[in-house]
Amino acid sequence: MATTDAATPAAAPESRPAQGTRIVGPELRSRWTTPRFGAITPERLASILKSADDGRTEDWANFCEYLVEDADLFGIYHTRRNAVAGAPWDLEPGYSPDPIAQRYAARAAEFCRRAMLEMADLERTWLDALDAIGVGWSAAELIWKRDHGAWVVSDAEWVRAARLRFDETWKLRLYDMGEHGSEGLELPPGKFLVHVPRSRASYPVRSGEFRTIAWYWLFHRWVIKYWLATGERHGGPFLYMRVPASTRGDVKREGKAILERMRNDGVAVVDEGTFIEMLESAMTGADVFDTLCARFERGYAKALLGATLTVDVGDSGSRALGTEHGKVRLERSQGDARFLAGSWRRDVLYWLCFHNRHLFDGVMPPVPTLKLQPEGDTATVSDKLIDIGGATYDEARERDGLPAWGPGKGGDKRIPAVSGSASALPALPTPGAPSGVPEGGEKVADAALNGAQIDALKGIVADVASGLIPRETGIELIVVAFPTIPREKALEILGPVEEGSVTPDGEPVQQAPAGGAAPPPFGASGSTPRGSGTPSLASRARASRALSSRTTSAPRSPTTPTSSRSQMSPLARALLGGSDGPKS
């Protein structure tokens, strides 16, 4: 996303754009005075780079146009630019801290989207702007028009980079070989799309990526030139004529002329007794030229695409490595898309919103953001996925360019996992079986209790069953101690448990026959009506007094409880506020 200062110009003029007018006129003089670089030398290239550093950028921009006429470089550079210019795009509504302006964010984004779709050739406009990747800068003049009460951009006219120069503050100005004065003509805001990506931390005249391959291009050109000359000299057989030593000079000259005609026309007429022989040429050093050319072409790919296997599979033909290099190229494309989106938001989207404030009740709406989405290579089945049994036979065959077998030959079956592989895929869930994820979306492994937690939960249940803590207290303890267990589940856990149904020693309390009374718990005297099966408050008090009398009369031992609190489970004692508890 573009920065705030780039997205919002400091001063917004109140005037409306002039309909259909142009500032940049036809290019006349420089069209016929563009220098040629066919016989460029290292000294000439060094001079061009030095002039660009000094601010005289015309020769550098013209040289970049000539540079891309190299077939290998053109293919790589065009791939880089097309990945962004032809990418799917959308507009994201902007944001404003002003709630009144924020109400128009979605409407402004939709208006700008329609205006962009009505432009003459949006993809070509972006492709021209992306020429700044190599040169370092680009500009296009915006042609405004009035359409049904709205100001829209009908077209964007490309401006040659050689017609522009930077001023002392590194802002582009229209220079046209001095026709607009020594300083050039300022580019009015809202009238030009200016793209200066700055792919590295340097001045704009040095940030173009062609700076990194200029010398590679020169040496690549020389190697091809010498290779062709060597092929012409040594590619064909060597013809010669043997004549006696006493042969006159005019005869020798005639013989040489015959050989030259044979070399050009392939036929000749000679006198009887003249012998023409052929010496086969053994051309050597061709592998040197091939190696040098390949080296410089790989330099092109590394500089512009970030890797080499995105355009050439190499000697090993590694598809996996090529896929990884494709990811590197995608990262380059995503970076180019972000730079272009920032320039587009600053120079086009902002002014679309500004000049059409009357469509938003006079309010300047939030400027939307352009989202370009370069697409990477289609994902393929990896060797690791095959090794662990995660791919079918048809998927593996399609990856290697082979026809699929189909279900009839078992192509839909999985390839068995290689023994000793680092991991294996889990089995697919059976239809209708539990998915292993509870309603809240939490995994079973995260929601399940471990062994210590299960023991603690069983301790609380035992405390309730023995009457050491009331049932409601046990429910609250479960909810507090186990946040993953809701209160409803705690009620279900303690549903069949009755208070006082077992003694603190774990012995079940004997039930009284129908119509009778149950024996008092913990060996206390008296009887307690069972009724619903839950001891009354009086029976629990008697049980507590009996427990207290037992603990005071019996000698203390590790297995003899000293109080009802000490008889509780460790988790219950800790949650209720300590291990000693109140004295009863």
Highest mean pLDDT among 161-170, 396-405, 439-448, 483-492: 161-170
450-471: string of b/e by CB count within 10 Å (b at 16+)? eeeeeebbebbbbbbbbbbbeb
Q: What residues contact residue 392 under an 8 Å CB cut-off, 6+ apart?
A: 411, 412, 413, 414, 415
For residue 93, what pLDDT is reported? 94
Higher pLDDT, 33 or 389: 389
Report CA Rg, the chain: 44
Q: Which two tokens stand for residue 158?
A: 């490309």
Instruction: Please report which helix (H) or strand (E) contains residue 313, including its range.
Output: none
Per-residue confidence (pLDDT) for residue 503, from 0 to 100: 61
Alpha carbon of 22 to those of 73, 175, 190, 490: distances in Å? 34, 16, 13, 78
Which sequence spans correspond to the domains of the chain? Answer: 42-212+327-372, 238-279, 380-419, 451-493
More confident residue, 229 or 6: 229
Averaged pLDDT of the chain? 74
pLDDT-derived band at 64 (thresholds 50, 70, 90) equals very high
CA distance 10 to 92: 23
- List helix spans (H) across 162-211: 204-207
Read out DSSP for 252-308?
HHHHHHHHHHHHHHS-----TT-EEEEE------HHHHHHHHHHHHHHHHHHHHS-S
Q: Is the dihedral of CA 348, 351, 353, 358 positive or negative?
A: negative
User: pLDDT digits over 349-378, tens only?
Assistant: 999 999 999 999 999 999 999 999 887 544
How does pLDDT run across 122-176, given as a tens digit for each residue?
A: 999 999 999 999 999 999 999 999 998 899 999 999 999 999 999 888 899 998 8
What is the DSSP track for 501-562?
SB-TTSPBPPPPPTTS-BPPGGG-SS-B--TTT---HHHHHHHHHHHHHHHHHSPP-TTS-S
CA distance 227 to 487: 85
Euclidean distance between CA atoms 489 and 492, whole angstroms: 5
178-186 LR contacts (CB < 8 Å, sep 24+): 179/29, 185/23
Distance separating alpha carbons of residues 569 and 481, to the nearest angstrom: 13
The whole-number pLDDT of residue 504 equals 56
Percent of the chain with pLDDT over 70: 63
For residue 127, give both structure tokens.
């492709």
352, 152 in Cβ contact below 8 A? yes
Return the ∠ at Cα 497 (arms to 495 and 501), rounded to 5°. 160
Q: What is the mean pLDDT of residues 11-21?
A: 62
Residue 67 burial by Cβ neighbours in a 10 Å radius (0-12, 13-18, 19+): buried
Q: What is the mean pLDDT of residues 536-556?
A: 43
Phi, psi of 561 (to 5 degrees): -70, 145
Distance CA(138)–CA(193), nearest Å, equals 8
Query: Which of 177-186, 384-393, 404-413, 466-475 comes out lowest in average pLDDT?
Result: 384-393
| pTM summary value | 0.56
Average pLDDT estimate for 5-30? 62
Highest mean pLDDT among 118-127, 266-275, 511-520, 542-551: 118-127
Give residue 1's pLDDT. 37
**Which two three-digit tokens encode residue 438?**
């509870």
